[in-house]
Every structure is written in structure tokens, then in C-alpha cells.
Structure 1
Amino acid sequence: MSARPAVRIVVVDDQEVVRAGFAALLDTQPDFTVVGTAADGGEAVLRCREQHPDVVLMDVRMPTMDGIEATRRIRAGADADAAPRILMLTTFDLDEHVYDALVAGAGGFLIKDVTAERLFDAVRVVAAGEALLAPSVTRRLIGEFTRLRPRPPAPELAELTPRETDVLRLVAEGLSNAEIAARLVVGEETVKTHVSRVLRRLGLRDRVQAVVVAYESGLVVPRSDVR
């Protein structure tokens, strides 16, 4: 059996020491290869066009073009499966800029003081096509900022079947397909089919945007006891 190709990564941060540090750390893993770095969002867009990475480690706050606009441009018009997966980097765990980045199409976020093992795990999760939603801080962030900036319910939610609504609610709670299957006592392939239908009916690119819609619409209410 042939080995899987290494995950191709671009690291984006306006601080050279941070950029070089993350790149060197990621390059220690045999299943990763850093194919480029960038000092701002504009460079990030160019590197992605040149190198076609699988994952982009993207700083949120940068001069010239920030990580939000870069994420929007990288993900815009691209097939959800073909576009690079974006992992946002931030200094603060409750940062409204990260919420905006998730809306723009980022697959999750990490705090810059993340441990090496957590960083490696996050890259592998996102590269595999899963959204990085499990950490409670991600759900807390989405919940907090949708509470502060509520939007009217999405009319498309009415088009979902009861089972699709259940699946969307569980996705928004951070459950994986396997966990949803166990909760609903159905097969994992059935869950994948339901998730695909939910994304198609709501016109969404990925699970992260589904989570945002679920919170914004009030389908899922932020829990005050999440830490």
C-alpha cells in the first residue's frame, strides 16, 4: 500500500519569527510539507494560487490585507473539496475577527500559544475535510458573537426535514459524523448524506458555515456553562 501524500501547508503571519517558527515546527512531521509562507493576506492569496496547498495556517490580524479578506478570496468561487482548508491563528480566544473569518469560510481556529501536538492534530483534522469545531472555545466564540449580532432566522431552514434539522443541530454542537450516527442510531453514511443535503439546501460551503447558521438562526442557543 502506497503512503498518502504529505499534507501541503502554507503558513501566513506578519511576524517573521512566528511564521518561521510554525513552518519549522510543521516540517518536523513526516506527513506534512510546508510549501510556502506569506507575510500578509495578499501574499497568501498568491502563494495559494502558486502552490495549491491543502491547508493554510492564517493569522487573523495583518497589515495590507488581513486574514479574513484573504480567506474570503482563497475560498471564493472554489469547490469546497478542492479549495485549501483555512486554520485561523489568533492571540485571543474570544475575537470577533475570528467569527468573521469562520463566516468567510475558515475551517476553524487556534490560539497562537497552541501546543505542538494540538497544532499537528488540528492540521490533520482540517486536512481530512473535517471542521475544527470540537473545542468548546470555538462553540463559545460562535455562540457569543451570534448572540451579540443576531440575524433573523434563515427561511431556508423551513425546507429541512425534521431529521435534517436534527443533524444540523448536532453538527452545531460539534459532534462528528460518527458521534451523530451513534446519537441518532443510524449509519455514518446516512449522516454524511444528511449533512450534504443540509449544506446543499442552505447553500453553504461546509460544516463551519452550517454551525454559524444554526447559531445565528437560534436553532442552537449558546450555553452559558460552556468553558
Structure 2
Amino acid sequence: MRCADNNSPDFTSGTGTGTGISQPPTPAPPRRTGRRVTVAVYASDPILRVGVVHQLRQRPEIELVPDAEADRAQVSLVTVDSVDDETAALLYRLRHNPDTRTGLVVGTFESGDALQRAIECGVSAVLRRAEADQDRLLRLVLAIANGEGVLPGDLLAKLLDHMGSLQRSALDPRSVSLSTLTSREADMLRLVSEGLDTAEIARKTSYSERTVKNVLHEVITRLQLRNRTHAVGYALRNGLI
């Protein structure tokens, strides 16, 4: 799935908890010598936010910016359980702010597709919440401020494997398999095949109508099909639904 231009979610910014990643080497101090790194913390859960803020405010290298000034932060740190549509919308908005670089503190990536989506939405560094401590969180922020990318080795392997799979499918249409569609895409196409319209699919899946339209449009565009009917026929012929 690609990063879609959705409305920004109701995330809070300002302060939060640390979560972690495999320990990267300690980066050099931020290039802006003599100045602390300004950081805005975004979290979908106030408990996550409080935790990250508590970790960072103890470090003299960090200046936490208030909510009203979040857009001027050098580093935007987004803390979530997983990358869902609301998280992607926030990441997309942050990607278009030239003054900030984005790091992601995440509980889990459910698939390579979710990891790819985060990267496409502008995330330059990832830290696993389960591995986080104050030092790793600080190293992550300093690395982002210095323009470095940070990704655990196993996640990098997952991303490369996922990209390779997509490339093989694109080069050889006969290699289509179940992995061509995410479970959400397949579910929505099944509902289309049953004659449901956008509003009915949204109610069935508990997604917004806009999300349903975006998901189906993504499938049609990625597989180079004409419309929903063509997509359903294609999926049925290739055993995708």
C-alpha cells in the first residue's frame, strides 16, 4: 500500500515515552553546534506520549517544543503501536514539512507492506518500542538530526525481501500469488464481488469510505486494471480472492 493523502489524525504532539531498536552506533553530535535538537513528540495514546517526553526531557541535548511550535522541530518523533491509516496520514503531513525529519517508534510492523508504507511516507529512522531505553531513544533523535537513517537489520531484510517480491511480480505477471494483495485489499475485493458499494464496504470493514476508495484505487492502479469490475475478475482468475 502507498502513503495516501488522508486528513491528518488527531495525534497529540509535545511529549512521550521511549521505545527501541537494535542499538545503532553512537552518532556524532548534531551538526548545529551550540544548539540543542528541537523535538516534537506525536502519539496516538497519551500514555505513550508521556513516556517519551519523560525520557527526552532529562537530556540536555534535547529541547522539547510546545504543541503550538511543533512544525519548527528539527525532529518529529511519532510513537504508535502499528502503522495504520491515521499514522500514515500524520507521516504524510510531516513529510511535506521541510523543517523536520521524522522518526518512528513502533510496537510492531504487521507486514513488509506496512514497513514500506512508513518509508514511503518519509520515515528516516525506526525504533522498536519493546527495545527502547533512554540512551537508544537519544541516539535515534541525534541520528535523525544529523540526516542519518536508522533501521534494525531484520527490518531491513524484511523490507528488501518485500521489495524484491513486488519487483518479481511486476516483471513477471504470471508469478501473481496471494502475496500480490494485502489481506485488507483481498477482503475489500471480495465484498465488491458480492455487489457491495463503497458505503456498504465501509460499514462492513469499519473503515471510512475514503479509505475504501483509496485501497481499491491502489489495487486497480498497481495491477494496471481498468475499474473495480476488472479488478474482481483479475483477482478471481488468479486465485487472489
Question: How far, CA to CA, are the matches of 1:72 and 1:54 in structure 2?
Answer: 16
Separation (CA, whole Å) in 1 of partners of 2:88 and 2:95: 11
Structure 2: gaps (5+ residues): 1-31, 172-241
* Cα distance change of structure 1 residues 144 and 59 upon mapping to structure 2, 3 Å threshold: farther
Larger radius of gyration: 2
The answer to whether structure 1 residue 73 and structure 2 residue 90 are counterparts is: no
Paired residue secondary structure (2:118): helix
Matched, 1:87 2:103: yes
Mapped to 1, the partners of 2:120 and 2:83 lie a distance apart of 20
Which structure would you say has the larger RCO, counting Cα contacts within 8 Å and 6 or more residues apart?
Answer: 2
Greater alpha carbon shift after TM alignment, 113-122 vs 54-63: 54-63
Counterpart position of 2:124: 107
Distance in 2 (CA, whole Å) between partners of 1:118 and 1:64 is 24
Q: TM-score, normalised by structure 1?
A: 0.52
Hey, which bits of structure 1, 4+ residues long, moved more than 6 A?
A: 62-65
Residues 118-172 of structure 1 show CA distances to partners (whole Å, capped at 9, x for unaligned) of: 1111111111111114x3133123123224433758xxxxxxxxxxxxxxxxxxx
Instruction: Supply the distance in 2 between the matched residues of 1:58 and 1:128 (Cα, whole angstroms).
Output: 18
What is the correspondence of 1:105-184 to structure 2 with a 5 Å cutoff? 105-113=122-130, 114-133=132-151, 135-150=152-167, 152=170
Find the aligned partners of 1:100 and 1:90 in 2 and give their Cα distance: 13
Extract unaligned runs of 5+ from structure 1.
38-45, 154-227
Alignment RMSD (CA, Å): 2.9
Counterpart CA distance in 1 for 2:49 and 2:108 is 18
Residue aligned with 1:33, SS:
strand
Distance in 2 between the 1:63 and 1:92 partners? Answer: 8
The Cα shift of 1:47 comes to 5.5
TM-superposed deviation, 1:26: 0.6
Identity of aligned residues (%): 18
Partner of 2:59: 29
Structure 2: which amino acid aligns with 1:55?
V
Counterpart of 1:111, as a letter, is R
Indicate the larger mover: 60-69 or 107-116.
60-69
Q: What residue number does 1:179 align with?
A: none
AA in 2 matched with 1:58: V
- Distance verdict in 2 for CA 1:132–1:119, change over 3 Å: same
Q: Could you tell me which residue of structure 1 aligns to residue 38 of structure 2? A: 8
Q: Which amino acid aligns with 1:87?
A: G
Q: 1:88, 1:109 within 8 Å by CA — same for their partners in 2?
A: yes
TM-score between the two structures when normalised by the length of structure 2: 0.49
Task: Report the CA distance shift for 1:64/1:140 in structure 2 as closer, same or farther (over 3 A).
Answer: closer
Q: Map Cα deviations across residues 74-103 of structure 1 (whole Å, 9 max, x no partner).
A: 222x5xxx4311111211155432320111
Alignment partners' CA distance in 1, 2:157 and 2:91 = 22
Residue 64 and residue 129 in structure 1: after superposition, are their counterparts in 2 closer, same or farther (change >3 A)?
Answer: closer
Distance change (3 Å), C-alpha of 1:127 and 1:20 = same
- Residue 104 of structure 1: CA displacement? 1.4
Is the CA contact 1:12–1:19 (under 8 Å) kept in the aligned structure 2? yes
Map of 1:59 onto structure 2: 79
| 1:63 to 1:101, Cα distance in 2 relative to 1, 3 A | closer
